[in-house]
Amino acid sequence: MLLIKNGTIVTMGEAGILENSDLLIDDGKIKAIGSGLSEEGAEILDAKGLIVFPGLVDAHSHIGGFDLDTNADDLNELSQPVTAEMDAWYGIDPASKAFEYACRDGITTSCIAPGSGNVICGTACVIKSAGTSLESRTVQRPAALKAAMGVNPKGVYGPRNATPMSRLGVAQIFLDYFHQVQDYQKKKAAAQDDPEKMPPYDQGLENGLLVLEKKIPLKVHCYQHDMMSMLRIAKQFDFRVTLDHALGASDFYDEIAESGAAVIYGPLGAPLFGGEGCKIDIDSLIELDRRGVLCAIMTDGPVLIPSMILTQAGEVVRAGGDPHRVWRMLTINPATILGCQDRIGSLEVGKDADIVLFDGWPAVDTAAKAVMTLIDGQIVFTKK
Amino acid sequence: MICIKNGKVHDGKGKVAIMDILIQDGKITRLKSDLDVAEAEIIDASGLEVFPGFIDPVSDWGILGPGREIRGNANDNDEKSDQCTPEMDVIWAVNGRAMERQQLAAWGITAVGVAPSNNNVFGGKMAAYQIVGKNPMKMILKEKIGMKASVTEEVTKTYGSRNLAPMTKMGVFSMMRNKLREAAEEKTENKDVAPDFKREALHEMLQTKMPLFVSCNTPTEIRKTLHALKEFDLPLVFINGFGVDGSLTELLEHKTALVLGNHTEGMNRFNRTTDYKGIYALMQQGLTVSFCASGRGFGGREDLLWNALEMYKVIGQEETILSMLTLQAARILGIEEMTGSIEEGKRADLVLWSANPITSYHGAVVRTLVAGETVYKKGDAMRCFL
């Protein structure tokens, strides 16, 4: 048992911020939060002067799958534009150094998705940054079906003189795929569990079925007007989407708010090119959040180093965002978007003891750094 | 005449005080508390932090765009048809509109150095620019501020893949030294032989002691460059310098400076081991160091400040960090007489911040002035849409 004493606990739950308070961890879970806690035999960790924060959740990442140390690129199966049967889980190297770097900057959980070179890319999963095995580190699998619009799939298949080489082709692939899934769904329903009449098992269509049944969202790489195309397709087939990257969201406040889609924004840190990536409007998260849209901030790891999740959140604060709302975009919001809010995203009794101790207010003080990170109650990083 | 009144002025040299700044003809003419100037237009800076404009000393600003959709864009500073293009000059590539489109003023940047790409052994001449203007020739602060060179894998990948030299580090340094040796020799005039502009460009560099800006991704590349170029006695500026630590004291022995590359991108296997404490120790012994937004050709307007914050997190020292973003960058570009600090006689390249952006994310740009002209005010449209 571990007792964190005398910290400023930012619960991100109903309890709000608790000054000079304690948090008791037992068997990897949060057992109690309050002031003046004591527990016989518990190891004491003095957090005086520190901010006790929920472990950060990166809702869109590729760490462990794209790896610079090993040159691994195991998340883009660019052999055909629809690879819905792929599972990012098999592309992840749990020993990748990238997870260690994530722990160092307080990211305890990441949604790791296939890359965006294909239109329908495969399923994403939610993985903790440390633990004994990939199995034990898996929080949710599948968490979403990843898809991509715009330049990325065009840029892969266009030069091969293959579909899609334009946005016409990209949209058509979405329509064709979901029509196939619908057809598969009908055949399965008609078979009424009679194995003789069942259509042949198809993992790619099964994954689409999870989307049509609203068990998981379609996680869509999209920018600017592609977001509107996607919302229209999502409405037609009646499924949930998350709008990932979402640069240009400030043009579509009404539409996004009305759709119920979540927004996972980022990464910044690129020049303003022409085309889909040029409208950098992370300040749009302030208005989207005000309108009830679930917003999160991504590193797109390893595109940005892990600490940039806080730096980008700082940019929302710079644009006038209330830090209390912005912190949600790093914790409980991504946890909720990923369907893991029962386990992670806030410091509440019964939840996983995924905790970061900061030496300043994250996304407010530029110097704020993680000094200690815990995952499932285990210390996985301590600043020297 | 403009008077910026009652701002907390950080001069870029370590001094912080509430001061008034009088601007005339684009320059700072008086710097004093409680200036009484009846006829001046007053900008009330009470409660604001007044900084010198940031300077991004090695960049592609003004090169990118108006772009295509697929990344790659114009690449007008990337003449990779020949390994050695020292005769070329970046002034032919810079587009004022393309620079403006990046809205650098909204992130407090008022001047930049623009450089040829990292793909050639000798890339060509660099120039320093102010960030606004339609006519790029009028935006130039100083030409021929340096010669760009590169010893990184970008060179060997570019030419090696064509089965051309250099395809190895051996090839890079051999080519670099051979070209410089040829250029160092005095040549007798021979009217029958066509002039060799490449040789002449390097000869001029050696004669005028034009700084050589060498892109190096690792401390090893820096050490090899120092070794290879010892006999040519050139001022050297190392760009990127990923992984540099306090042991690189060779930097102090030669006339060198360092422009740290982008440490915020994760797709870079070199930038994780940089030791900011060690670099700070070298700075205390006299090394000039600044930051840049990209260094490898891919960074955003926010990256200059973000990179400074990465170092601030480790060493603190906000006025030192500010000086690296301003005066030290100006020194590296040879424009410190003109800009880079808030001093009488210098250009009024000034930024009014709502709070100190080096210590707090609450710091946002309220107003940016380039040579006394307000070029950005909070609330101005900042989003690029093409």
Residue A122 forms part of a structural domain: yes
Q: Does residue A9 sit within a domain?
A: no
Closest chain A CA to residue B61: A271
Chain A residue numbers touching B67 (CB-CB < 8 A) = 273-275, 278
The count of domains in chain A is: 1
What is each CA distance from B31 to B83, B248, B337, B338, B368, in whole angstroms? 49, 39, 17, 16, 18
**Cβ <8 Å between A271 and B359:** no
- Which amino acid does the sequence have at A251? D
Distance CA B88, CA B124 (A): 5
Residues of chain A contacting B310 with CB distance shorter than 8 Å: 307
A114 Cβ contact partners less than 8 Å away, ≥ 6 residues apart: A65, A75, A76, A77, A83, A86, A88, A91, A121, A122, A123, A124, A146
Residues in chain A within 8 Å Cβ distance of B298: 270-271
Identify the closest residue of chain A to B381 by CA–CA distance: A281
| Interface mutation target, options A104, A272, A287, A308, chain B, most CBs of B under 10 Å | A272
CA atoms within 13 A on the CB side of A284: 25
Residue B67 has its nearest CB partner, among A274, A308, A363, at A274
Mean pLDDT of A366-384: 97
Nearest CA-CA distance, residue A184 and chain B, Å: 36
**Separation in Å, CA of A36 to nearest CA in chain B:** 33
B301, A272: Cβ pair inside 8 Å? yes
CA distance B227 to chain A (A): 29
Burial category of B23 from C-beta neighbours within 10 Å (exposed 0-12, middle 13-18, buried 19 and up)? buried
Structural domain including A338 reads: 55-342
Using 50 as the pLDDT threshold, list the residues of chain B that sit under it: 68-72, 385-386
Give the residue from A273, A310, A317 with the most B CB atoms within 10 Å of its CB, the best one to mutate.
Answer: A273
CATH number of the domain that A67 lies in?
A: 3.20.20.140
Residue B68 to residue A274, Cβ atoms within 8 A:
yes
Nearest to residue A45, comparing CAs of A97, A8, A72, A6? A6
CA distances from B351 to A249, B43, B50, B174, B362 (A): 29, 12, 6, 45, 15
Q: Residue A41: pLDDT above 60?
A: yes
d(CA B352, CA B346): 17
Task: Tell me whether residues B66 and A274 touch, CB distance under 8 A.
Answer: yes
Q: Calculate the dihedral angle through the C-alpha atoms of B125, B130, B132, B138, rounding to the nearest 10 degrees.
A: -60
In angstroms, the CA A338 to CA A149 distance is 21
In this structure, chain A runs to a length of 384
Is B312 within 8 Å of A271 when comparing Cβ atoms?
no
Q: Which amino acid type is present at position A192?
A: Q
Distance CA B3, CA B314 (A): 37
User: Is the Cβ pair A271, B300 closer than 8 Å?
Assistant: yes
Q: What is the pLDDT of residue B174?
A: 97
Query: What phi, psi does B17 have (nearest 5°)?
Result: -160, 155
Contact A334, A58 (CB under 8 A): yes
User: CB neighbours of B191 closer than 8 A, spacing ≥ 6?
Assistant: none
For A204-222, what is each residue's pLDDT tens digit? Answer: 999 999 999 999 999 999 9
B69–A151 C-beta distance less than 8 A: yes
Smallest CA–CA distance from B69 into chain A, residue: A275
Domain-embedded: residue A25: no
In a domain, A248, yes or no: yes
Give yes or no for a contact between A289 and A329, defined as CB atoms under 8 angstroms apart: yes
Q: Is A252 helix (H, G, I), strand (E, B) or coil?
A: coil
Judged by CB atoms closer than 8 Å, whether chains meet at A311 and B264 is answered as yes
pLDDT digit string, tens, across residues B247-272: 999 999 888 999 999 999 988 889 99
Domain residues of chain B, as ranges? 53-340
Comparing CB atoms, the residue among A268, A279, A317 nearest residue B385 is A279
CB distance B24 to B179 below 8 Å: no
Instruction: For A59-76, write each residue's pLDDT tens digit.
Output: 999 999 998 888 889 999
Distance of CA A88 to the CA centre of its chain: 13
Q: How far is CA A126 from the centre of its chain?
A: 8
φ, ψ of residue B125 to 5 degrees: the values are -85, 145
Confidence at residue B384, expressed as pLDDT on a 0 to 100 scale = 53
Tell me whether residues B360 and A365 touch, CB distance under 8 A.
yes
pLDDT tens-digit series, residues A267-288: 998 887 767 877 889 999 999 9
What single letter denotes the amino acid at residue A79?
S
Residue A126 contacts residue A104 (beta carbons within 8 Å): no
Q: Assess contact for A126 and A139: CB atoms under 8 A.
A: yes
Q: CA of A300: which chain B residue's CA is closest?
A: B266
Contact criterion met (CB below 8 Å) for B321 and B288:
no
Cβ-Cβ contacts under 8 Å, A314 against chain B: 361
- List, for residues A144-198, the tens digit of each pLDDT value: 999 999 999 999 999 999 999 999 999 999 999 999 999 999 999 999 999 999 9
Give the pLDDT score at B342. Answer: 98
Can you tell me the distance from the alpha carbon of B202 to that of B11, in angstroms, rounded to the nearest whole number?
A: 37
DSSP B364-385: -EEEEEETTEEEEETTS-----
**Look-up: residue for tokens 């393309």?**
B98
Q: For residue A199, how many other CB atoms are within 10 A of its CB?
A: 14
Contact (Cβ atoms closer than 8 angstroms) between residue B46 and residue B7: yes
- Cross-chain residue pair B69–A304, CB shorter than 8 Å: no
The Cα–Cα gap between A193 and A190 comes to: 8
d(CA A7, CA A183): 56
The structure tokens listed for A100 are: 């260690």
Where are the alpha helices (H) located in chain A, listed in sequence order?
Answer: 97-104, 134-137, 151-157, 167-191, 203-212, 224-237, 253-259, 284-290, 308-318, 323-328, 332-337
Chain B, nearest residue to A247 by Cα: B383
Chain B residues whose beta carbon lies within 8 Å of the beta carbon of residue A303? 265-267
Q: For residue B351, which residues of chain A lie inside 8 Å, CB to CB?
A: none
Whether omega before A142 lies within 30 degrees of 0, making that bond cis, reads yes
Residue-level pLDDT at B194: 81
Q: Are A379 and A371 in contact (CB under 8 A)?
A: no
Q: Where are the beta strands (DSSP E) in chain B?
A: 2-10, 16-24, 27-32, 41-44, 49-52, 54-59, 109-114, 122-130, 140-150, 212-216, 236-240, 256-260, 288-291, 350-353, 365-370, 373-377
| A360 three-class SS | coil
β B2-10/B49-52 pair status: parallel
Give the helix, strand, coil percentages of chain A, each rounded to 5.
30, 30, 40
- How many helices and strands (H and E) does chain A possess? 11, 18
Question: Distance between CA atoms of B231 and B211, rounded to whole angstroms?
Answer: 15
Nearest to B64 among A69, A273, A305 (CB): A273
Residue owning tokens 């090394």 = B287
- What's the whole-number mean pLDDT along residues A110-128? 98
Is B292 buried (19+), middle (13-18) or exposed (0-12) by CB count in 10 A?
A: buried
Report if residue A260 sits inside a domain.
Answer: yes
On average, the pLDDT of chain A sits at 96
Query: Is residue B310 classed as helix, strand or coil in its secondary structure?
Result: helix
Tell me the one-letter amino acid at B7: G
**How far apart are alpha carbons A344 and A103 in whole angstroms?**
15
Strands B16-24 and B2-10: antiparallel
- One CATH from 3.20.20.140, 3.60.150.10, 3.50.50.60, 3.40.50.720 for B53-340: 3.20.20.140
Say whether A307 and B67 touch across the interface (CB within 8 A): no
Cis geometry, peptide bond prior to residue A323 (ω within 30 degrees of 0): no
Give contacts of A318 with chain B, Cβ < 8 Å.
Answer: 357, 361-364
Q: What is the pLDDT of residue B98?
A: 83
Non-local CB neighbours of B57 within 8 Å, separated by 6+ positions: B112, B113, B259, B290, B292, B329, B332, B333
Cβ–Cβ below 8 Å for B312 and A367: yes
3-class SS of residue A89: helix
- Residue with structure tokens 């499932």? A376
DSSP A244: E
The secondary structure of residue B107, as a DSSP letter, is G
